Amino acid sequence: NAGVTQTPKFQVLKTGQSMTLQCAQDMNHNSMYWYRQDPGMGLRLIYYSASEGTTDKGEVPNGYNVSRLNKREFSLRLESAAPSQTSVYFCASSDGQFYYEQYFGPGTRLTVT
Amino acid sequence: AQSVSQHNHHVILSEAASLELGCNYSYGGTVNLFWYVQYPGQHLQLLLKYFSGDPLVKGIKGFEAEFIKSKFSFNLRKPSVQWSDTAEYFCAVNGFSGGYNKLIFGAGTRLAVHP
């Protein structure tokens, strides 16, 4: 099993550009999450999907949109990138919500100039 | 608001030294507690978790954590660290807040173990 995969691994964007971060899991998990990790701030939840067909905002959703394409895939879109969105983005999945162990992807390092 | 505090941002130890990383949370209800670890260049992975029962929880690689409800703490310990324990450690707390279920991470502690 590949677990949780993310693409791309690195990306540089100019302010105002858009992009989509892709995430897929092969563990048949119901719930999927997007986090951002910034120095000194730990991981903060951007959006999550408790099950296929549902998405909900997390702690820092502004400037992002998500799509739960199917049970396996959960994408994160930046419509108009800003320097404040420079961060490392992690996708995760779990059998159920939050109190279940979460399995993380390798991360995407995004720089917005 | 629910929050998690990890007081040590950077810890440097020599091999065989004992380790204790602090984690305190602010939340009055029932909580589930986790420690995750991120080794250099690797994914975050679960080290151990506490849901209920014995407050002393044992995890992988010789780590353990103790839940002290009266102190709102869940400190991570290891009696003798190895160079391979060099990593970033995150405490996380799950509970209901603002009407929905949340998992809140602390800011992380970077541990460097020198041979």
Of A101, A43, A107, A41, nearest in space to B46 by CA: A101
pLDDT tens-place string over residues B19-78? 999 999 987 777 889 999 999 988 899 999 998 899 999 999 999 999 999 999 999 999
Question: In the prediction, which pLDDT does A96 show?
Answer: 73
For B94, the closest of A42, A90, A99 (CB atoms) is: A99
Q: Which residues of chain B have a CB within 8 Å of the CB of A104?
A: 43-45
* Structure token pair of residue B95: 């509970």
Question: In the prediction, which pLDDT does B28 show?
Answer: 72
Q: Mark yes or no for CB contact A90/B94 under 8 Å.
A: no
B-chain residue closest to A43, CA distance:
B105
Chain center to CA of A14? 20
For A101, the closest of B4, B9, B46 (CB atoms) is: B46
The Cα–Cα gap between B111 and B115 comes to 13
For residue A84, the surrounding DSSP H or E stretch is none
pLDDT tens-place string over residues B65-102? 999 999 999 999 999 999 999 999 999 998 766 555 67
User: What pLDDT tens digit does each residue of chain A (113 aa) get?
Assistant: 789 999 999 999 999 999 999 999 999 999 999 999 998 888 999 999 988 889 999 889 999 999 998 999 999 999 999 999 999 999 999 987 666 788 999 999 999 99
Angle at B107 between CA B105 and CA B108, to 5 degrees: 95
